[in-house]
């Protein structure tokens, strides 16, 4: 597989997914650029990377693509199944199509960009990852989100930011409803500057006006138990 990875292109019609991932893992500590053809919805493609790699995937991927990503840049020219970039640590994951549920879940760092829409639970329990979704997102997104930013160009489903901690939510469209302890907050100049900087990293700074976004975050009423809030827990 080392010989295969020395090539610029790996065709999964001819090379097994196991061999591809093993070869990518063997490149820890090195840099490289790998193009993957015929992914055909393969699960866990490019998961667990820890290297300065660029991996370009031409087609749709299945579950847990780029999960636990560290340092690598993963570009998927297609759509992704559940768990995209789950528990991501650093680097960049970019999907040109849509992503299914739990995109960026528990992510601790790095940047996830989805050009299309994401399904339910986008960014749940996020712990430092930045997520930019150029379409809309599904219900229960940013549930128990602790740190990082979630930027949504479109609308959101029910219960956005339910039980949120200190993550920052920026939505250009309309939330269907806000979850427990999630409230709209003032959008001040330093928030717009931070949002613009994040959109620059995502290559979308000039695609939208940062002034068209609204900011949401924690009301901080659920940090400590109080009997008056018992119904919200």
Query: HSE (CB half, 13 Å, CA atoms) of 173?
Result: 18
State the chain's mean pLDDT as an integer: 93
Q: In this predicted structure, what is the pLDDT of residue 6? A: 47
User: By the 8 A CB rule, do 105 and 87 touch?
Assistant: yes
User: What percentage of the chain reaches a pLDDT higher than 70?
Assistant: 92
Q: What are phi and psi of 95, to 5 degrees?
A: -115, 125
Q: What are phi and psi of 227, to 5 degrees?
A: -60, -30
d(CA 181, CA 51) in angstroms, rounded, equals: 39
Measured CA angle at 142 (ends 136, 147), to 5 deg: 125
Return the DSSP state at 229.
G
Q: What is the mean pLDDT of residues 78-88?
A: 98
More confident residue, 3 or 140: 140
Q: What is the mean pLDDT of residues 86-102?
A: 98
Q: In this predicted structure, what is the pLDDT of residue 29? A: 76
Is it true that domain 2-232 has CATH number 2.160.20.60? yes
Q: What is the mean pLDDT of residues 8-35?
A: 92
Name the band, by pLDDT with cuts 50, 70 and 90, for residue 30. confident
User: By the 8 A CB rule, do 61 and 41 touch?
Assistant: yes
Q: In this predicted structure, what is the pLDDT of residue 231? A: 65
User: CA–CA distance from 232 to each of 38, 53, 179 (Å)?
Assistant: 47, 44, 9
Q: What's the predicted TM-score (pTM) here?
A: 0.93
User: What is the per-residue pLDDT across 60-80, written as a single tens digit (0 to 9) for each?
Assistant: 999 999 999 999 999 999 999
| End-to-end C-alpha distance for the chain, whole angstroms | 51
User: What is the per-residue pLDDT across 127-184, written as a single tens digit (0 to 9) for each?
Assistant: 999 999 999 999 999 999 999 999 999 999 999 999 999 999 999 999 999 999 999 9
Helix (H, G, I), strand (E, B) or coil at 218: strand
Q: In this predicted structure, what is the pLDDT of residue 4? A: 47
The beta strand positions in 23-83, using DSSP E, are 31-37, 52-58, 73-77
Q: What is the mean pLDDT of residues 30-58?
A: 95
User: What is the full DSSP assignment across 152-169?
Assistant: ESS-B-SSBTTT--S-EE
Q: Can you tell me which residue has the tokens 């009997």?
A: 227
Q: In this predicted structure, what is the pLDDT of residue 221? A: 85
User: By the 8 A CB rule, do 63 and 71 touch?
Assistant: no
pLDDT over 80 (residue 82): yes
Name the band, by pLDDT with cuts 50, 70 and 90, for residue 232. low
d(CA 198, CA 42) in angstroms, rounded, equals: 30
The beta strand positions in 83-213, using DSSP E, are 92-95, 111-114, 127-133, 147-152, 168-171, 182-185
């Amino acid at each position: 597989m080392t010989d295969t990875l020395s090539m610029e292109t790996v065709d999964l019609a001819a090379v097994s997914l196991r061999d591809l991932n093993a070869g990518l893992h063997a490149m820890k500590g090195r840099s490289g650029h790998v193009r993957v053809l015929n992914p055909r919805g393969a699960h866990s493609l490019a998961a667990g990377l820890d290297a300065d790699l660029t991996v370009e995937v031409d087609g749709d991927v299945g579950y847990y693509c780029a999960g636990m990503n560290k340092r690598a840049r993963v570009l998927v020219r297609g759509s992704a199944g559940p768990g995209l970039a789950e528990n991501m640590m650093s680097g960049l994951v970019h999907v040109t199509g849509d992503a299914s549920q739990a995109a960026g879940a528990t992510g601790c760092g790095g940047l996830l960009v989805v050009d299309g829409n994401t399904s339910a639970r986008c960014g749940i329990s996020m712990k430092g990852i930045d997520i930019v979704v150029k379409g809309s997102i599904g219900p229960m997104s940013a549930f128990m989100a602790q740190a990082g930013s979630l930027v949504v160009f479109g609308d959101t489903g029910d219960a956005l930011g339910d039980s949120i901690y200190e993550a920052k939510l920026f939505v250009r469209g309309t939330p269907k409803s806000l979850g427990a302890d999630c409230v709209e907050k003032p959008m001040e100049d330093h928030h717009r500057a931070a949002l613009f900087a994040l959109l620059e990293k995502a290559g979308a700074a000039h695609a939208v006006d940062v002034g068209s976004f609204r900011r949401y975050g924690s009301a901080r009423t659920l940090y400590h138990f109080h009997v008056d809030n018992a119904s919200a827990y």
